[in-house]
Chain A
Amino acid sequence: MTALLTVNALSVHVDGAGAPLVDDVSFELGEGERLGVIGESGSGKSLTALAVLGLLAHPLRASGSIRLAADGGDVEVVGARQRRLDTVRGSTVGAVFQEPLASLDPLMRIGAQLAWPLRQHRGLRGDALRRAVLDALADVQLAEPERIARSFIHEVSGGQRQRVAIALALAARPRLLIADEPTTALDVTVQAGVLELIQSAVAERGMSLVFISHDLPVVAGIADRVVVMRAGRVVEAGETRQLLSAPREGYTRTLVAASRALDDLLPAAPLDGGRV
């Protein structure tokens, strides 16, 4: 299998100060593969994602190597110039973040925001562009794409916002989607729908996925392989089923045990039965 993303000995430091926030992280992601990244709050999941996107801002600094297999050859993200990064972002890698309201410009209509990556990466203009915007919104199962396109982000609901953010991430048809806790900020009732959308979009397009979450059951349902992070380090990695059925590392065991305990606590039968 050819690797789409190869992270090797990635560390993230605060400029000139102390202990690393991400410490010697390595993993690989093949074409079409889905990787879950799990770990407690502050374990460095988001920083790892930002590093892969080349979005670490001063005073944060990455070292090590992050290679993306782009169309025009491999790109080394660590230390890359902004221009170089602009060529892989969108077309090779796209991202969805935790807070959908913050992910869109409050002063720009949703349709206009969605139009830019479509123009830039697919060269669309005029009517074709307008249709592509509506299609992109319909693709993420938004009813009334016309109305949504005309709205500002604060004028649509939380679940719709995250769907718009996903549409934005998918617009340039990236081969890798990085989703950093895409459902954490959402109401439980809409979480399942957004998860399903991500899963089906990734499957339909044969994309690779890095899915970051605190939520073990969610990651178990979506990822082929899992990386467990703690205090900036990868403490365990492996195939999802194997890792969950026989967690070797103490921390993973605690996580698994905790989510089992939670399952036991929930009156599973009435809940399932109660749903139509």
Chain B
Amino acid sequence: MTVTVPTAAEQKPAARRTRGRTSINLVVGGVLFGVIVAVAVLSLFALPYEPSDTTGGRLQPPSGEHWAGTDRLGRDLFTQLMIGARLAMLTGLGSVAIAAVVGVVVGLVAATAGRWIDDALSSLLDIAIAFPTLLLAMLVVAWRGASLDSAILAIGLAGSAVIARLTRVTASRVLAQEFVKASRTSGTGTLRLIRLHVLPNVWPTLIVPLALQFGGAVVAEASLSYVGLGSPPPNASWGRMLQEAQSTVLVAPSAAILPGLLLVATIIGVNLLADGLRDVADPAGRSIR
């Protein structure tokens, strides 16, 4: 038996219908996302200019020397965009890692501990899911100060509630399976049961939501930056660059358009990739084959 939400029988026709499209999703998403990852990695080793180099002249349009133009202090925007890519990846990875670890642990505790703890955690999760991310972020900022780390922590915690609930539901379903009873009867303790059977069977259902959260985290960080909760240029996220550029958007439109385009490209890339991963991650697909 599989542990996906719809039964294998329900899923088969849909899977067949989308199989052709899925590979396109994977390819387009992979290319978009891959380019941004490559740029982020490259920014660690080589940048066209020093980030704080102000010799470029103010608010220059894109040119051969400054591919994306300069900001109002004369710093190279292409350099900043590359750093932004790195920060976007860091935001996505960091908050997804927090969401995954916190969410999976809480979800597993709820699924395996007694009823009392389960009920208490479920009510807490209901509240946490309803809690606005922005409000949570402000609380974290009030606690730790405005920084990228604070944003990542807040976004990760906000995302963990959904992951926790998903983990609880899926883990409970796995725990009710006959093979868990069979494993239990051979003396497998709870922790090993989780490691051997529950986690491997829960992962596939988490991959897609986590990939989607990656995109969501980048957008959320951009919104937080836009209201001023991010680190300032030259080490700014794309969201913060957008905020910086808004007052001069009529004079130097490329400073606002380019980070916006990159944001959109990242989100589309990640979502297409998540869509493509759905089939790969689907355990039903594995057992049908």
A271 contacts partner chain B, Cβ-Cβ < 8 Å: no
- Check if A97 is an interface residue, CB within 8 A of chain B: yes
**Minimum C-beta distance from B12 to chain A (A):** 15
The CA of A229 and the CA of B234, in the complex, are separated in Å by: 79
Bound-state CA distance A88–B179 (Å) is: 18
Asked if B186 lies at the interface with its beta carbon under 8 angstroms from chain A, I say yes
**Do B182 and A165 have beta carbons less than 8 Å apart?**
yes
What is the CB-to-nearest-CB distance from A70 to chain B, in angstroms, rounded to a whole number? 11
- Bound state CA distance, A152 and B176, in angstroms? 20
Residue of B nearest to A99 (CB): B178
Which of B183, B283, B286, B287 has the most chain A CB atoms closer than 10 A to its own CB? B183
Q: With contacts A103-B178, A106-B2 known, is A154 near B185, CB below 8 A? A: no
- Known contacts A106-B283, A116-B196: A86-B185 contact under CB 8 Å: no
User: Interface with A: B131-139, B187-195, B259-267, which one?
Assistant: B187-195
A176 CB to nearest B CB, Å: 11
Q: For chain B, which range describes its interface: under 10, 10 to 19, 20 to 34, or 35 or more residues?
A: 20 to 34
Once the chains are docked, how many angstroms separate the CA of A154 from the CA of B200?
A: 17
Q: Are B197 and A108 in contact (CB under 8 A)?
A: yes
Q: A107-B201, A108-B197, A108-B200 are in contact. Are A97 and B181 (CB under 8 A)?
A: yes
Q: Is the CB of B179 within 8 A of A104?
A: yes
A187 to B254, CA, bound (A): 71
Q: Interface residue count for A (Cβ, 8 Å)?
A: 38
Q: Are A105 and B197 in contact (CB under 8 A)?
A: yes
Contact with A along B201-231 (1 / 0, CB 8 A): 1000000000000000000000000000000
- B186 touching A55 by the CB < 8 A rule? no
Q: Is A102 an interface position by the 8 A CB rule?
A: yes
- The answer to whether A94 touches B185, judged by C-beta atoms less than 8 angstroms apart, is yes
Q: Which residue of A lies closest to B3 (CB)?
A: A106
Q: Does A87 contact B (CB under 8 A)?
A: yes
Chain A residues contacting B283 (CB-CB under 8 Å) are: 106-107
Q: Find out whether the CB atom of B189 lies under 8 angstroms from the CB atom of A116.
A: no
Chain B residues with CB under 8 Å of chain A are: 1-2, 115, 176-179, 181-190, 192, 196-197, 200-201, 283, 286-287
Chain A positions within 8 Å of B, measured between CB atoms, are 50, 53, 55, 57-58, 82-83, 86-91, 93-95, 97, 99, 101-108, 113, 116-117, 120-121, 152, 154, 165, 168-169, 171-172
